[in-house]
Amino acid sequence: MRIAIDLFETAVDLQRQNLRRRHPDATEREIEERLGAWLQDRPGAELGNGQGRPARRFDQDA
């Protein structure tokens, strides 16, 4: 579990650095907002990281 958490933290740090390179004039708050948006809706993982179809029990509308 510790390795998985370390990998996640590393990915977040790398994405933060990437955002700083792409948006050099952005404030720290703007970078954190963009990072939060990335964490919520990562391209290629719109339905999460798991394989298969999402369970309906987690849908807010179900």
Tokens of 7: 């990998």
Q: Give the contacts of 34 (CB within 8 A, at least 6 positions apart).
A: 19, 23, 26
**Each residue of 12-59: pLDDT tens digit?**
999 999 999 999 999 999 999 999 998 887 766 666 666 667 666 655
Q: The whole model's pTM is what?
A: 0.66
CA separation for the pair 21, 3 (Å, rounded): 27
